[in-house]
Amino acid sequence: MHEKTLWIVREINRLLGPAVVKIFSYFGIHLNHHEPIPQHVVLAILASITVIVVFGILSGKPEFYPDRKQAFFEQVFLFFDSLNRDIIGEEGRKFIPIVGSLFLFIITMNYLGLLPGLSAPTMNINVPAGMAIFVFLYYNLQGIKKHKLAYIKQFTGEYIFIAPIMAPIEFISHLSRPLSLSIRLFGNISAEETLIVVLAGLFAPLLPVPLMALAIITGGLQAYIFAMLTAVYLYGAVSEEH
């Protein structure tokens, strides 16, 4: 099904499209001149800027007696600190920037779909897939960094004689993780937004409101699940229990 081009995407491509086409042409990459910057990329960048600006303002310069902005920021930090410590342990604090950024980025993208004139970039499979591949590479790199060559035991098990059995199973299990992360996020957000649009078209404008309220909950829940599973995968990669 053809995706309707949003006004913000048209404007961004009108302003920046020619320059993007020219830059990519230097590398032998020929983009679609009609829409060189895809809709999901524009919306994902918008979500990124929103998170950076909002939390840049909230973080500010910390005061001994926090105001409301600083208190809110501290509660957000404590939320991710608690999540990582519960799953990963004491080492989890250093992964707060990754887990927290993923959560905030995903929840912002999910909620864009609830705003008039916008849609959730997570409805495009490329966005969840890109984040899932990043998580897959990141936790494996952290495992290699922590355990060096001993990280291979993650796939072979402790004993060499069971490696021929364990290796294929673990290899498939790890490869299925980015697929699972992608499909779960993409499927849930696509279903929610499509249902809201259909109901809004069939019935009076106020009837989809309860469904939109539910979408606020599920949009946050999907972001939380993605972040939580990232922490789980990091725990498996960096823990001493191999």
pLDDT for 67-106, tens place per residue?
777 788 889 889 999 999 999 998 899 999 999 999 999 9
- Name residue, tokens 């500010």: 60
More confident residue, 241 or 35: 35
Q: Which long-range contacts (CB under 8 A, 24 or more apart) does 134-138 make?
A: 135/102, 135/177, 135/178, 135/181, 135/230, 135/233, 136/174, 136/177, 136/178, 136/233, 138/98, 138/234
pLDDT interval class at 1 (50, 70, 90):
very low
Least confident of 3-17, 148-162, 226-240: 148-162
Tens of pLDDT, residue by residue over 125-180, are: 999 999 999 999 999 999 999 999 888 887 777 777 777 878 888 889 889 999 99
More confident residue, 3 or 129: 129
Assessment of whether the complete model's pTM goes beyond 0.75: yes
Under DSSP, the state recorded for 4 is P
Q: How far apart are CA 216 and CA 237, in angstroms?
A: 32
Where are the chain's structural domains? 1-37, 40-238
pLDDT interval class at 207 (50, 70, 90):
low
The whole-number pLDDT of residue 228 equals 97
Q: How far apart are CA 103 and CA 225, in angstroms?
A: 9
pLDDT interval class at 14 (50, 70, 90):
very high
